[in-house]
Amino acid sequence: MTEAMQRIQPVMVPAVAHTGADARLVAIRAVPATDQRSTTITGLPAESARTTRDRVHAAIGNSSGCLWPRHPVTLSVEPEPLSAADSGLDLAFAVALLAASGQIPAHRLPATLHLGELGLNGALRTTPGLTARLAAAAHADLPDAVVAPGNLTEAALATSSQVSTARTLTELVAGLRGEAALRTPQAWPTTPPLPDIDLADLPADHMARRILEITAAGGHHLLMTGPPDCRAAMLAERLPGLLPDLDPATAAEVAAAHRAAGTLPPEAVVRHRPPWQAPHHSISLTALSGSLRRPGAVGLAHGGVLFCADADHLPSPARYLLRSVLEDRRVTVVGSGGTASYPARTQLLLAIAQGVAPIAGCGFPSPAHRRALDRMSALLDRIDIRAALPSMPEPGGPPGGTFTTTAVVAARVAAARVAAAARWGGRPWATNAEATLQGLRDALASVPASRFARLQRLLQLGAVSQRRAVRVLRLAFTIADLAGHRQPTADDVAEAIQLCTGQQA
């Protein structure tokens, strides 16, 4: 390092302080020190200033191509001192110090936010409260932001500014010197999790087409029963392709879960398409629920589809875990080191292939099928659709036959979801499967009661529980949305009864 590079020049680096619930734009200013022998930090509480200086000193000392300035520098937080510590300012302090001593160019620094905690080894660590920090800086019209890899998804979704990241201070310095490009957010992935699977592969007249479309349009949970050749797995694999892209908030949560599991590159921002998880029935409870450090299959299915074949063979603890996930839409893991909670809003698909299951309205369940359903009793009341499927013929059809593709059905599903979202506008849910009893009552206030006469009779006879009647109403709205009906018709309700209860309406 030359003597010229060691001469100190005044530098200002913007940053955002976050202490408690408060986030505000600040400036880290570096100037030559005239009245002390060592570099100092002002504008922080005394103890915090010392620990921050020590972290920055160690990070610079352990970063290739960086030197602690030979001449003392005064680093200050302006315009007002902070009342509490904030490790998220570490990176701004380091950048100001390196720029003041001439080790990195300073001309673009006033237009760039640098947010991140520094490890003693120079690694950039995740900064808490990043969204609040970026919101506080929005009015400053800063075009760029540099954040830690763990904050890249959050930053890219929270701001329209250009966001970049580096794993270490060494990488950042190389990028600022123009020696290497800083990493920017990338979308991951944009294709369906099972890209080669299409509805066109199913027999054209198979009832499963209709069931999958309704399941996707309303966000409903589905239980499929039938003989082994009903090909439940083949059906389940086609559901993700029918679902719309994830909204930005869910996409960020999905990306965070997959990053924690090590299946998402650090520079990836969002996962646009709903994920797919198909754990084997022998999966351990830990692998299903997750650990304190990473989510399990349930958390990785957040925003997408969780398919359990041979669901009646799942151990009892796993079935009760799935039940709690459907109720809470989260999975909480408790261990000796604390508690971890992961979002788990997923569509649950269950399959039971045990003997020949009866088709709806055609006979009685076999003893083996009844025993399988008994083992599933903890989950059945949380399932909207119970589809008793017949054997599926070989995929394909007569030459020249026309088969509805996934893309065509996905467009109908998207239109139905738009209709549902308009109906539930202002409510804390957007799909029919999430509608509350009061929400349903409000939406049905102007619908003639005669349309629900069959459902009312089933309730009076005790053939349908109150809980299942609510699920019938949710399904009726989804069927109406797919048909373009503003309100459910009597035929819509009849189909919903059959799908939800297995009874002919």
What is the set of domains in the chain, with CATH numbers? 3-176 (3.30.230.10), 199-242+272-388 (3.40.50.300), 406-501 (no CATH)
Half-sphere exposure of 78 (CA within 13 A, CB side): 12
**What is the pLDDT at residue 307?**
97
**What is the pLDDT at residue 6?**
57
Q: Which residues contact 280 (CB under 8 A, 6 or more apart)?
A: 309
Residue among 407, 383, 397, 390 at smallest CA distance from 467: 383
Q: Which residues contact 231 (CB under 8 A, 6 or more apart)?
A: 392
Q: How far is Cα 130 from Cα 16, in angstroms, rounded to an integer? A: 9
**What is the pLDDT at residue 480?**
97
For residues 360 and 504, the answer to whether their CB atoms sit within 8 Å is yes
For residues 29 and 11, the answer to whether their CB atoms sit within 8 Å is yes
User: 222 by DSSP, 3-state: which?
Assistant: strand
**What is the pLDDT at residue 83?**
85
**What is the pLDDT at residue 91?**
95
Q: Which residues contact 220 (CB under 8 A, 6 or more apart)?
A: 214, 347, 384, 385, 432, 433, 474, 475, 478
Q: How far is Cα 108 from Cα 90, in angstroms, rounded to an integer? A: 19
DSSP 201: G
Q: How would you classify the pairing of strands 40-42 and 73-78?
A: parallel
Residue among 393, 224, 419 at smallest CA distance from 305: 224
Phi, psi (degrees; rounded to nearest 5) at 224: -110, 125
Rounded to a whole number of angstroms, the CA Rg of the chain reads 29
DSSP 295: B
Find tokens 């620094």 and name the residue. 109
Q: How would you classify the pairing of strands 11-19 and 22-32?
A: antiparallel
Find tokens 């059809």 and name the residue. 397
**What is the pLDDT at residue 38?**
87
Q: In what order do the strands lie in the sheet with 73-78?
A: 11-19, 22-32, 73-78, 40-42
Q: Which residues contact 343 (CB under 8 A, 6 or more apart)?
A: 253, 257, 299, 302, 329, 330
Tokens encoding 135 = 């919101």
Average pLDDT across each block of 10 residues of the chain; the chain has 505 residues. List them in order. 62 87 87 85 92 95 91 91 89 95 90 92 90 81 85 79 91 93 76 78 77 96 86 91 89 84 73 90 94 93 94 91 93 88 95 60 56 76 88 59 80 96 92 95 92 92 90 96 95 94 59
For residues 173 and 103, the answer to whether their CB atoms sit within 8 Å is yes
For residues 331 and 297, the answer to whether their CB atoms sit within 8 Å is no
Q: How far is Cα 181 from Cα 183, in angstroms, rounded to an integer? A: 6
Partners of 117 in beta bridges: 125
Q: How far is Cα 96 from Cα 102, in angstroms, rounded to an integer? A: 10
Partners of 118 in beta bridges: 124
What sign results for the dihedral spanned by CA atoms 284, 286, 289, 293? negative
